[in-house]
């Protein structure tokens, strides 16, 4: 999984900075471990390392019933429920969401 990504990095680049988010953080940390001479820095945004933090710190358990019932109502309902859980400010200020979706 990592090889296709590494093949895209130009040969003349000797060291690089890696920024990863969420599940990509796990892959990036593995990458930095395997190729530590080339990774100049590693920035992890919202990493989810199950081994180091309990599920209640990584997942909003109170949101599960809402997400499950929304899933049963169809795709649009499910996507809106995910948005409500992950970005509740979209209701208060829809221009923020519109800006990021543009």
Q: Tell me what percent of the residues of the chain surpass a pLDDT of 70.
A: 85
CB 32 within 8 A of CB 39: yes
Q: What is the pLDDT of residues 7-17, one digit of tens each?
A: 888 888 889 89
* E runs forming strands in 1-62: 16-21, 39-45
Q: What is the pLDDT of residues 39-66, one digit of tens each?
A: 999 988 877 666 666 767 667 788 889 9
Nearest of 101, 34, 51 to residue 18 by alpha carbon: 34
């Amino acid at each position: 999984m990592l090889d296709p990504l590494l093949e895209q990095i130009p040969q003349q680049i000797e060291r690089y900075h890696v920024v990863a988010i969420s599940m990509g953080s796990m892959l990036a940390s593995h990458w930095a471990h395997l190729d530590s001479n080339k990774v100049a820095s590693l920035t992890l945004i919202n990493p989810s390392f199950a081994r180091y933090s309990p599920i209640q710190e990584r997942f909003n358990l109170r949101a599960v019933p809402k997400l499950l019932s929304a899933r049963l109502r169809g795709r649009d309902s499910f996507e809106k429920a995910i948005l409500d859980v992950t970005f509740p400010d979209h209701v208060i200020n829809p221009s923020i969401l519109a800006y990021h979706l543009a």
